[in-house]
Amino acid sequence: MKCDKKSMLLYAVTDRTWLGEQTLAMQVEEALRGGVTFIQLREKKLNYDLFLEEANKMKALCEKYQVPFVINDNVDIAKACDADGVHIGQSDRKVSDVRTILGENKIIGVSAQTVEQAITAQQEGADYLGVGAVFSTSTKLDADSVSFKTLKSICEAVNIPVIAIGGINENNILELSGTGIDGVAVISALFANSNIKAAAENLCTLSKNMVKS
């Protein structure tokens, strides 16, 4: 499954922080029921076997809802579970190397903070860009901030889909109107919410309005 601009509208990045008595799969399915259009499985502490087990569950869910599914950073897990692709940062493997491992039909997303990084990623074959952090975020404390001006310049410089990430929630998402992005990536705005499905529905509507503006 390749990505298109429509699938970028509401991009959910998983986080175990707010699981409580639920499983990650339960939370992700609530998000999918609420209209999330893309799922990224982000795991920083699971060992390989547990990560792969979780990835297989997520893949099955995303297939059920016909939503693209990628793994954060871990190319080996992405290949092992036959995910739709992988999202990599600036310090990870080169896009060309990842493409060789995963194949031409897989999705490769790349994090970018500057116009130069964005253009390079596109030239190397990235399918979409994640740009941020556009607001302060508690889920990635080392994230560099990206101004709205830079975000807009990145959107103007590339012709692949661009999503904004970092501290985005229902109260500030509309501030991104007019930047040219195709959607937003959210973490706590979804998974820290007591009603994930309702949060997804609301964010999906807001994202649609933001993209149109």
C-alpha span between 45 and 180 (Å, rounded): 35
Count CB-CB contacts under 10 A for residue 2: 13
Catalytic residue at 16?
Answer: no
Cβ-contact 178, 128 below 8 angstroms: no
Query: How many CA atoms, within 13 angstroms, populate the side-chain half-sphere of residue 4?
Result: 2
Among residues 7, 42, 106, 207, which one is catalytic?
42
Among residues 59, 99, 111, 197, which one is catalytic?
111
C-alpha span between 194 and 54 (Å, rounded): 22
Catalytic residue at 7?
Answer: no
Catalytic residue at 147?
Answer: no
Among residues 79, 93, 140, 208, which one is catalytic?
140
Cβ-contact 35, 208 below 8 angstroms: no
Listed residue (150, 188, 181) closest to 167, CA to CA: 188
> DSSP of 155-173, one letter per residue?
HHH-SS-EEEESS--TTTG
Catalytic residues: 42, 111, 140
